[in-house]
């Protein structure tokens, strides 16, 4: 267990950028007016970086058996259920009410402004500029495919991808597939649909949502990894030319 926790703390990220896509668990905190929400004097990318540093520090202290700072522990609790947390995004967590109160009105958790703001082009552009990406991929709460909702926004900039393991959230998850030619989503079958297909010896039903097609196939040089490799090649060539010049040799 400790080894697994150490792995999560060292490898887990508040956000990850891959192939010009911003991957986040749930959201970037935002206000009703479409601005980035401030927490602890920080917002946007700076806030997520600060939270990441705190998580790494808490994880290191936990694994090494060191005493945690009270402010770090407080932030950890807030990240679980705070309205400005990038992992929650609701006005309050109503677990207590669900367990102990009969009144179902008291169980409701009001979703804040993330999905509302993603309807606005200005907010989406603000996100892309803040993180230097082309798309935003987020999860936490899946879309209701049965009601005709789509994973991606009309422009393909914001994409909702969620495992959908909770029965309360439709029991139907999504997967995102990125090939050199296309970006598309797969609406995964429910457990009931998989059992039925198995009994009938049939393939499980899959629904495909085409999000984007690329006029030119994406190559390794177009990816984040490819850009880093090209930068490393340029650095090595620069060193070779410098050494050659120092020794009176000519290079191409």
Residue matched to tokens 């803040």: 130
Tally of domains in the chain: 3
Domain that holds residue 162: 141-218
Predicted local distance difference test score (pLDDT) of residue 174: 85
Predicted local distance difference test score (pLDDT) of residue 169: 58
Residue ranges of E strands in the chain: 15-18, 21-24, 135-138, 158-160, 174-178, 182-187, 207-213
Residues 165 and 124 in one domain: no
Residue at 135 is within a domain: no
Residues 114 and 86 in one domain: yes
Predicted local distance difference test score (pLDDT) of residue 190: 82
Residue at 125 is within a domain: yes
Ranges of the chain with pLDDT below 50: none
Residues 150 and 212 in one domain: yes
Residues 79 and 151 in one domain: no
Residues 197 and 165 in one domain: yes
The answer to whether 212 and 182 are in contact (CB under 8 A) is: yes
Residue at 136 is within a domain: no
Which of 94, 129, 164 is at the close of a domain?
Answer: 129
Predicted local distance difference test score (pLDDT) of residue 171: 66
Predicted local distance difference test score (pLDDT) of residue 205: 81
Residues 226 and 200 in one domain: no
Cα–Cα distance, 13 to 33 (Å, whole number) = 27
Cα–Cα distance, 131 to 14 (Å, whole number) = 13
Which of 129, 149, 168 is at the close of a domain?
Answer: 129
The answer to whether 137 and 21 are in contact (CB under 8 A) is: yes
Nearest to 75 by CA among 49, 97, 44, 54: 54
């Amino acid at each position: 267990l400790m080894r697994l926790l150490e792995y999560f703390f060292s490898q887990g990220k508040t956000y990850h950028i891959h192939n010009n896509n911003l991957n986040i668990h749930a959201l970037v905190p935002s206000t009703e007016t479409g601005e980035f929400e401030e927490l602890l004097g920080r917002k946007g990318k700076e806030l997520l970086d600060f939270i990441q540093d705190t998580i790494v520090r808490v994880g290191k202290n936990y694994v090494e058996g060191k005493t945690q700072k009270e402010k770090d522990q407080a932030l950890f609790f807030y990240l679980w259920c705070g309205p400005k947390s990038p992992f929650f995004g609701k006005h309050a967590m109503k677990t207590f009410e669900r367990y102990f109160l009969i009144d179902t009105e008291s169980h409701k958790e009001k979703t804040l402004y993330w999905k509302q703001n993603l309807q606005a082009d200005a907010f989406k552009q603000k996100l892309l500029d803040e993180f230097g990406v082309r798309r935003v991929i987020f999860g936490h709460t899946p879309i209701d495919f049965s009601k005709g909702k789509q994973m991606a926004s009309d422009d393909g900039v914001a994409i909702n991808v969620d495992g959908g393991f909770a029965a309360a959230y439709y029991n139907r998850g999504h997967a995102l597939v990125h090939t050199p030619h296309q970006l598309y989503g797969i609406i995964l079958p429910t457990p009931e649909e998989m059992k039925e297909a198995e009994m009938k010896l049939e393939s499980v039903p899959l629904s495909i949502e085409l999000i984007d097609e690329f006029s030119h196939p994406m190559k390794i040089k177009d990816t984040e990894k490819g850009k880093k490799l090209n930068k490393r090649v340029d650095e090595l060539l620069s060193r070779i030319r410098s050494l050659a010049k120092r020794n009176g040799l000519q290079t191409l």
